[in-house]
Structure 1
Amino acid sequence: MLWWALFIIIIVNGLLALITVFREPRDIAATWAWILVLIFIPVIGFLIYSFAGRKLPQRQLFAYQDQDISEIEKLIRKRMADGPGPSVPEKVALLPRSAQSLVTLFQRINKTPLATNNQVRLLTSGQDFFDRLKRSLREAQSSINLEFYTFYSDEIGHEILDILVERAKAGVEVHVLYDSLGSTGTTLRFFAPLRAVGGHAVPFLKRRFNIVNFQLNFRDHRKIAVIDGKVGYVGGFNIGDQYLGRKKKFGHWRDTHLKMVGSGVYYLQAHFLLDWNASALTKPMHVSEEHYFPELPDYKLGNADLQIVTSGPDSDDEQIKMGYIRLIQLAKKRCWIQTPYLIPDDSTIDALRIAANSGVDVRIMIPCMPDHMFVYRATQYFASQLVKDGIKVYCYNNGFLHAKTMVVDDQLSSVGSANFDFRSFKLNFEANAFLYDKEIAQQLAAQYEKDIECSTEQTVDSFAAQSRWLRFKQVFSRLLAPIL
């Protein structure tokens, strides 16, 4: 009877696994990965799927109306038309043809126009990032809007909170949006001092995606700060002590962020407003308020042209992934990538291999240590496969590499929150800046070469010398790649 009961459980579990996975459309890789989990981990597998496997119900995603989007677009068009220098179409026409194709791609799949005449500063250390961010916050006169995946209630978290409280007391409008899973340990109680003086703080989409309906798999991974609608930050740094190198586990933290002044800030502001209104249903921000989109000065702030591109499970277009692939396709001389997680899908693998076998100098830099074990082993697996096609893979040894950057040839680059993995492509809400500027590309390339001095190149022989047990863990983790 025991054997018959076990047999029936296995059959029923298998049937339920097939029904569960196939009832929602998904790509083949993710389908097989979930079938493996559900069949080989009975019962527990279904619990895992409940939390991390169900797709995002589109009808429940965002509460904002089309009117919000149209109001924002109308304001931005007005500001851009009144701005200095050539019009946006004229500026696009001045770009190299390769850059024009990327601009067109994002205009079509992300409705993101080119933002011209920006002053952009590259920030590559936690100390520099936080010093500049705190200075910008202290100088705020009108509004502060922060959106971070991680906002820890540690030393630097309290420093930032104290500044926010002080500015709120001075009459500045303060809004903080954070991911409740990424900010584990931080609750609304932490933000009580801010709320007591008129500031606002809410977890991203918590009203709709909480423990009751198991929607924990869709994370706000964006790292955005907008001050007075004039100064913007976007990149890889979160708010926490580890990003200053204060955590022994990681040591030195190597990341990349951008500080920008110019029309690009409008689009960071727009995405924050939409994300806020999706999360704070009872305290929406009035997107028609013109002070969120102040007039540009009548002189050029800088020469950098860029596009702010977002992606997430609210769209099937995978906009940032498509941008990455297009950048790889456009490479003629070099394509240098930094990412903490290297778990690409077949389309990005093919793009990398085609570029490398076409004579492009393709380099990928990854960390030398894990922060998520299965993810790191999968990263090692894909690295071991890519080196076989002549792609240079480097392990960064001077602490933890968390930068998400790409530099192509002499003018094209990307800096943002999106990793080179399935999760960033499909499951996370991400934000990247794609830049069309020679100076920024040169700075990113120079930083890359500096980081190589602290790195070890991985080769076919070095991977072959690994133990069988380590290689087994890498292969097994690779099977779970689509759902990590």
Structure 2
Amino acid sequence: MKNFIKIISNRAIIIGLLILLQLGLLFAIIVRFEEYFVYFYTIYIMVSAAVIIKIVNNRSNPAYKIAWIIPIMLIPIFGTVIYLVFGRIRFTKEEKQKMSLIQEKEKEANLKTVCSVTIDDGNEDAKIQSNYLSQYGEGALFKHTSSQYFPLGEQAFKAMLEELEKAEKYIFMEYFIVEEGKMWDAILEILERKAKEGLDVRFIYDDFGCLTTLPHHYYRKLENMGIKSCVFNPFIPVLSPVFNNRNHRKITVIDGKVAFTGGINLADEYINEVERFGHWKDNSIMVKGEAAWGFTLLFLSLWEFIYKNDDNIADFYPDFEEDHLVDSEGYYQPYVDSPFDAETVGINVYLNLINRAKKYVYITTPYLIIDNLLMEALCTAAKGGVDVRIIVPHKPDKWYVHAVTKSNYSQLIEAGVKIYEYTPGFIHSKTFVVDDLYATVGTINLDYRSLFLHFECGVWMYKTTSVMEVYEDHIQTEAMSQLVTLEEARSISWLRKVGRATLAVFSPLL
């Protein structure tokens, strides 16, 4: 009985039931008024035509358009209703303008606090990428920075605890998933203690990401501990496009001098304290120096948007002169991608890396759900002699997403791309490393939600020591993975082929 009560009182179960109830109510209304079918159908045709024209003419990805047009045409009435509820970007014009003003404030603060840096070694490819991120990714270029790449979540966790203990002024954190357990409990103990010592401690978590992992209104508990907290995009059980745009970013900032980003969330499977899909292979990178200030600005911009306060950003700028920062060999550029605008920063960074590669492109990603642009870029690079290798999980976390990932194997392998599956379990890291020169570490998966709908972040690096650390990690991970042959990719039943093909059509919605 207790288990039954626990199940039916679960927030996710309640929300799911409420949404199903609303869908059922819509269906009941339609059935109730079926005698007026002719009038309903005429209105439906007119509305559907308008919606399809709108979809065709908007700036979204073509595959995303097709994935919505098909249900609108195949499922009378419901297809259009479902699109109007779930298919649109939810941010209003006023919200977009508000974020634009915050970003301008962020740029001004950056110009006042950090000396302007440009790539001046003659590499035009690097310069073009950096210029693009400066204009559209909210990311300034930094040089006075050191970094350490962590191939596993448990290594990053240990370093994170050590750096959090050193905090003297403030700690800013934002994560998609937070779950009570060894990892979060250890971090929370430090955050509470530091807040009591008078530090400015702030935390953002995504409500949908934490739907099944944290109690409702968990932010109140954090506030009672002295931790300023806010929930990104609070999830309400009403048919709404609120589902679409989630905060998938992972950022920790300490005093503006140290920052972490990467694939790991704050839950025990990310540090292999709990086994869900075999060994969980994840990563993180720690930057120390001016690039950490870049992540501070990224956090503060979203904080101001959600929390609705008006900080003087310059107050958070650290005194780097006391630290005697080394003149790092390479360059670092933190960046974000968000649905506030039509600029698809994440995919453009990846496309630029692929298209400008001369020797190799090595990629790790938990999902390989790519559109025609990425498919053609990867295949063309491989056909041109670039060594393209991609590592994906062997044990999936979502069977239907993994089925779509596998549906892309044949075309890529035929073009010369090498696909590896991480045999020990699930790989969640999202990395690109190219030609011993460039690397990205961050939160952006190779799937439609990451590339077009979610708030994401990462750090682009050029000629840094961590570029080669990412490379070494890829080689070592590859040694633990199995190469997928073309014969294996093709050797599936016709029924499975049909299933994968069907899922692939709707992959932008997964």
Q: Which TM-score applies when normalising by structure 1?
A: 0.90
1:449 aligns with 2:475: yes
Question: C-alpha deviations, 1:452-484, integer Å up to 9, x for none?
Answer: 122111122101212222222211111012222
Match of 1:347 among 373, 377, 390: 373
Tell me how far 1:231 sits from its aligned partner: 0.5
Match of 1:248 among 271, 275, 296: 275
Question: Structure 1 residues 452-461 or 232-241, which shifts more?
Answer: 452-461
1:405 aligns with 2:431: yes
Q: Aligned equivalents of 2:239 and 2:100: distance in 1?
A: 28
Alpha carbons of structure 1 residues 212 and 3: separation in structure 2 relative to 1, 3 Å? closer
* Equivalent residue runs for 1:285-364 within 5 Å: 286-296=311-321, 297-300=323-326, 302-364=328-390
Alpha carbons of structure 1 residues 11 and 330: separation in structure 2 relative to 1, 3 Å? same
Structural RMSD (CA):
2.7
Question: Structure 1 residues 219-228 or 302-311, which shifts more?
Answer: 302-311
Matched residue type, 1:52:
F
1:218 aligns with 2:249: no
Report SS of the residue matched to 1:215: helix
Alpha carbons of structure 1 residues 27 and 127: separation in structure 2 relative to 1, 3 Å? closer
Matched residue type, 1:290:
D
Q: Aligned equivalents of 2:250 and 2:38: distance in 1?
A: 49
Report SS of the residue matched to 1:413: strand
Question: C-alpha deviations, 1:308-338, integer Å up to 9, x for none?
Answer: 1211111211112111111111111100111
* Equivalent residue runs for 1:104-123 within 5 Å: 104-123=131-150
Match of 1:420 among 436, 446, 454: 446
* Contact 2:85-2:239 within 8 A present in 1 as well: no
* Contact 2:168-2:199 within 8 A present in 1 as well: yes
Question: Structure 1 residues 68-77 or 409-418, which shifts more?
Answer: 68-77
* Contact 1:63-1:278 within 8 A present in 2 as well: no
* Contact 1:110-1:319 within 8 A present in 2 as well: yes
Tell me how far 1:188 sits from its aligned partner: 5.7
Tell me how far 1:71 sits from its aligned partner: 4.2
1:262 aligns with 2:289: yes
Tell me how far 1:436 sits from its aligned partner: 0.3
Alpha carbons of structure 1 residues 346 and 67: separation in structure 2 relative to 1, 3 Å? closer
Report SS of the residue matched to 1:308: strand
Question: C-alpha deviations, 1:173-231, integer Å up to 9, x for none?
Answer: 11101111111232464344431242211111339x88474422101110011011111
Report SS of the residue matched to 1:31: helix
* Equivalent residue runs for 1:422-441 within 5 Å: 422-441=448-467
Aligned partner of 2:18 in structure 1 is none
Tell me how far 1:63 sits from its aligned partner: 7.4
Q: Aligned equivalents of 2:395 and 2:41: distance in 1?
A: 38
Tell me how far 1:236 sits from its aligned partner: 0.8
Report SS of the residue matched to 2:352: helix
1:23 aligns with 2:54: yes
Question: C-alpha deviations, 1:121-156, integer Å up to 9, x for none?
Answer: 001112111111112122211111001111123332
Structure 1, unaligned runs of 5 or more: 82-86
Match of 1:196 among 224, 232, 256: 224
1:79 aligns with 2:102: no
Aligned partner of 1:184 in structure 2 is 211
Q: Aligned equivalents of 2:399 and 2:73: distance in 1?
A: 22
Aligned partner of 1:140 in structure 2 is 167
Aligned partner of 1:470 in structure 2 is 496
Tell me how far 1:370 sits from its aligned partner: 2.3
Tell me how far 1:166 sits from its aligned partner: 1.0
* Contact 1:120-1:258 within 8 A present in 2 as well: yes
1:126 aligns with 2:160: no
Aligned partner of 2:4 in structure 1 is none
Q: Aligned equivalents of 2:41 and 2:485: distance in 1?
A: 43
Equivalent residue pairs, number: 474
Matched residue type, 1:334:
Y
Match of 2:414 among 373, 388, 391: 388
Match of 2:507 among 457, 469, 481: 481
Tell me how far 1:292 sits from its aligned partner: 4.1
Structure 2, unaligned runs of 5 or more: 1-30
Aligned partner of 1:173 in structure 2 is 200
Question: C-alpha deviations, 1:410-445, integer Å up to 9, x for none?
Answer: 111111000112211110111011100253222212
Report SS of the residue matched to 2:218: coil
1:206 aligns with 2:234: yes
Report SS of the residue matched to 2:396: coil
Alpha carbons of structure 1 residues 294 and 40: separation in structure 2 relative to 1, 3 Å? farther
Question: C-alpha deviations, 1:12-65, integer Å up to 9, x for none?
Answer: 656544433433524432222112223444565456435531123341435746
Q: Aligned equivalents of 1:177 and 1:280: distance in 2?
A: 10
Question: C-alpha deviations, 1:90-135, integer Å up to 9, x for none?
Answer: xx11263332221122223335331112111001112111111112
Matched residue type, 1:218:
N
Match of 1:38 among 72, 77, 85: 72
Tell me how far 1:347 sits from its aligned partner: 1.5
Per residue, is there more helix in 1 or in 2? 2
Report SS of the residue matched to 1:160: helix
Aligned partner of 1:84 in structure 2 is none
Matched residue type, 2:356:
L
* Contact 1:120-1:259 within 8 A present in 2 as well: yes
